Amino acid sequence: MSRSQSDDSAEGALGLDGWIALTRQLEQDIALGRLKPRERLVEGELMLRFGVKRNAVRQALSELESMGVVLRPPNKGAVVRDFNAKEIENLYMVRELLETKALEMIPFPVHPDSIRSLREIHDRHRQAVRLGELEKVFRENLAFHRKLFSFCDVPDLVEAIEIFQMKSHAIRSFSIANAKLLARATEEHEAMIDALEQQDREALVRLSVAHIQPAKNLYLEMNVRH
């Protein structure tokens, strides 16, 4: 899908829904690489593109800033956040700690209905990958991991994981359109489900840690500022 096609679709989808829909669309554009690290987010341009008022744009940018995907330096306007090497390593260290802890706290055996629900999300994600529907790939991937970590039954921990996942949106944008990495991610999702069914916690943790590395490494290779 071209940028112009994406813009047309976004405008039709948002209409006058306001800042919540705008936040969701901009979050998705950042995660899919349509908005690049260090790219400026100009209020007037966003108003015209999405057909919303300035207050909606400002609320959306404030929400994106709180999510950690946008920076708003004083008197400089909003920009998509970028990262240096140390920031990336620190962010992914925290992600690994939080996600590993959640997986270690999942009570085994996981109920078959829960595993079935996770597999249904996985099937939708795999179908979206096959069809090249990147917006759906992005959303179903978030849903897969939200469901997986929810099995630990510690909502505050799951919320912390989601916060740090959101901070990673721009980093993951370099890998989401990579067919090889998408295929690998799909295979790893399948393997995680198998590990849950087999009550193999060691394999589940190992897979989860390995799962987040390719996006980090690709960002470091292609975009990192020193």
Judge contact between 21 and 57, C-beta under 8 A.
Answer: no
Average pLDDT in the chain: 89
Instruction: Report pLDDT for 77.
Output: 87
Has residue 9 got a pLDDT over 50?
no
Instruction: Report pLDDT for 104.
Output: 98
Fill in the DSSP letter of residue 225: B
How far is the C-alpha of 166 from the C-alpha of 201, rounded, in Å? 25
Has residue 7 got a pLDDT over 70?
no
Give 164-219 pLDDT, tens digit per residue: 999 998 888 888 888 999 999 999 999 999 999 999 999 999 999 999 999 999 98
Over residues 41-67, mean pLDDT: 92
| Amino acid making up residue 172 | R
Instruction: Report pLDDT for 112.
Output: 97
Over residues 56-79, mean pLDDT: 91
Q: Which helix (H) or strand (E) holds 7?
A: helix 3-14
Domains of the chain plus CATH, in order, are: 3-80 (1.10.10.10), 85-222 (1.20.120.530)
Over residues 140-154, mean pLDDT: 97
Higher pLDDT, 184 or 223: 184
Q: Using N-to-C axis directions, what is the helix angle for 155-167 and 134-150, rounded to 10°?
A: 150
Give 88-131 pLDDT, tens digit per residue: 999 999 999 999 999 999 999 999 999 999 999 999 999 999 99
pLDDT band at 224 (very low <50, low <70, confident <90, very high): low
